[in-house]
Structures are given as C-alpha cells and as structure tokens.
Amino acid sequence: MMQKSLAACVFGALIVSTAALPASAADDIESRVQLCAGCHGQNGVPINSATPIIWGQQSNYLYKELHDYHSGDRANPFMASVAKMFTLPELRQVADYFAAKQWPAAEHTGTPGEAPKSAEMCKACHQPNFVGGAPAPRLAGLSYDYLLTSMNNFADGKRTNNLDMPGFMKALSETDREAIAHYLAGL
C-alpha cells in the first residue's frame, strides 16, 4: 500500500517534471520518428535501393522535401501520409533530427569510377565532393537506383518541385544520367 502510493507519487512527479522540461518536445519527436526506421533503416541504411538515405542529409533539404510531400508539391503516396502526421514546425524538428545523424558508411567493394564530364556542372550546387550544402542536397553515396529514378523523374516531368533540375536533367542523355548515377553511388 505504502509502496503503491509512493510509486504513484513518483510517477505523478515525473509527469509534472518532464512536462515542464523544454526537452520533452524533442523527446516526443524522437519517439514519433521511430516509424521512419521501418523504411529508412534502424542505422541509417535504407531497407531497399528505392528508399533514400536521410541520416546526415542536409537539414534544409530534408525540411524542403518533407514540406513538399506535406503540400503535395512532391508526389509519393507513402511519404505524403507520413509527412501529414506532423505539422510544419514539427517537420522542421524531424529534419534537424535526421540531419544531425551520421551518414552511414559505404561498403565499397571496388574503386570509385572516374567522374563523367557531364557531372562537372553539378558541383556548383551539389558541391565539389557532392556532399551537398545550403544550395543543394548530398548526392554522394545515394543508391544507383534512387539517383537514376530521381534524375529520370526530373527529366520526365514527374518530379516538379524545383525549377532548375528538370532542365538540367533533360539536357543529359539517358546514358549520361546512368553514368552520373553510377559515379555518384560509388562515392
């Protein structure tokens, strides 16, 4: 009896104290993003090559994409319903949460290939080593399948949430796109 009421008292005090802590919002986000691991991976390695790496991706970019799935500017049925589980300010926290994680180490078997000439102009935005920055996302180490699909989606007008990328991708031949995707996946 004594113990029970003590437990109830401690539990009650815990609720009061955690509710008062500013950290509780972040804790809440941390528990709510557990579902992302189902596809984007428990350790940052996605479950399949159609699912992009989000651990260590640029924060601005993560937020922009979550925002676009939320608004419908970028179409994907899974990600639309996932993004709509959060408000826009919460999506900002989600973006910061994954951006702060470590990009998963690549398991390279061969040596990285030579950079195709057509990949030169991409560096202006995606940065010389393709790790991304404020103007554009990281591409280095994304899967070949995801990279090629993204590039083709821009070229074919299926992904329209950026003004520049569709034109850049249309200007490349399919062989160029394949060569670039192959190169970037090996970085």
Residue 33: closest CA among 66, 70, 82, 73 = 82
Cβ distance 56 to 44 under 8 Å?
yes
39 part of the interface to ligand HEC, by CB under 6 A: yes
Q: Which stretch binds ligand HEC (CB under 6 A): 5-13, 22-30, 102-110, 121-129?
A: 121-129
40 part of the interface to ligand HEC, by CB under 6 A: yes
Torsion of Cα atoms, 167 then 143 then 69 then 93, to 10°? -120
**Of 41, 92, 168, 186, which lies in the binding site for ligand HEC, with binding defined by CB under 6 A?**
168
Cβ distance 74 to 165 under 8 Å?
no
Tokens of 16: 């009061």
Tell the smallest beta-carbon distance from residue 157 to ligand HEC (Å): 14
Which of 13/50 has CB closer to ligand HEC? Answer: 50
Tell the smallest beta-carbon distance from residue 84 to ligand HEC (Å): 10
Q: Which of residues 55-94 bind ligand HEC (CB under 6 A)?
A: 62, 64-66, 74, 76, 78-79, 82, 94
157 part of the interface to ligand HEC, by CB under 6 A: no
d(CA 170, CA 2): 74
Which of 18/32 has CB closer to ligand HEC? Answer: 32
Q: Where are the alpha helices (DSSP H) in the chain?
A: 2-20, 24-32, 37-40, 59-71, 77-83, 88-99, 123-126, 144-155, 165-170, 174-185
How many residues are listed for the chain in this entry? 187
Residues that bind ligand HEC (CB under 6 A): 33, 35-36, 38-40, 50-52, 54, 62, 64-66, 74, 76, 78-79, 82, 94, 118-119, 121-122, 124-126, 135-137, 139, 147, 150-151, 161-162, 164-165, 168, 180
